[in-house]
Amino acid sequence: MTPSGAPRGRLAIFPGSFDPLTNGHVDIILRSAHLFERIVVAVLLNAEKKSLFTSDERVAIIREVFKEYPNVEADTFDGLLVEYARQRRASAIVRGLRAVSDFEYEFQMALMNRHLEPTLETVFMMPAEQYTYLSSRLIKEVFQLGGEVRGLVPPAVERWMSQKQGAGVRG
């Protein structure tokens, strides 16, 4: 419920860097799409020099991968996540938990976000076991060192990565 008593739409935000989108992210997004009316995959806008894809490219990739899913939307956000969540009238933030090692950072973030916006819940979801070792950072590293990323990222991401490679850019 909002402070005025009106119910909130069951919209959830799945925030992250998504550089690149992995099969682990896809797994979490699909699970969330079953749970919530709408899931917004929100790409953090940052000027990180070491990124492989621009934020516009990341959004285009997410839209391509989820084109068959009308309740999955891709967007960008800047600044505080809770502020963006307020603007979107979201009721939850979704985060993936792969291993105990993720927990401390995620726990701190969830509690800080709750401190900033007590009505916004963070929902943690576990990906399928075969994705528990995947991270964008490792995928980028493997790719940049000439390794094979097939099966770790959606085919569309693989294609976008090959295009970067063809253009002589490995991040």
By CB under 6 A, name the binding residues for ligand PNS: 15-17, 44, 80-81, 109, 112-113
DSSP-derived secondary structure for the chain: --TTSPPPP-EEEEEE--TT--HHHHHHHHHHHHHSSEEEEEEEP---TT-SS-HHHHHHHHHHHTTT-TTEEEEEE-S-HHHHHHHTT-SEEEEE--SHHHHHHHHHHHHHHHHH-TTPEEEEEPPPGGGTT--HHHHHHHHHTT---BTTB-HHHHHHHHHHHHTT---
Which residue's Cβ lies closest to ligand PNS?
Answer: 16
115 tagged catalytic = no
Given the residues 58, 88, 95, 98, the one annotated as active site: 98
Residue number with CB closer to ligand PNS (6 or 49): 49
Distance CA 65, CA 156 (A): 7
34 in active site: no
Given 49, 50, 115, 150, the catalytic residue = 49
- Selecting among 25, 58, 88, 140, the annotated active-site residue is 25
CB of 128 to ligand PNS, least distance (A): 19
31 is catalytic: no
CB of 151 to ligand PNS, least distance (A): 21
CB of 6 to ligand PNS, least distance (A): 25
* Catalytic residue check, 25: yes
For residue 123, list its beta bridge partners: 94
CB of 168 to ligand PNS, least distance (A): 26
Residue placing its CB nearer to ligand PNS in the complex, 104 or 148: 104
Is the Cβ of residue 60 or residue 109 nearer to ligand PNS in the bound state? 109
Catalytic amino acids?
25, 49, 98, 136
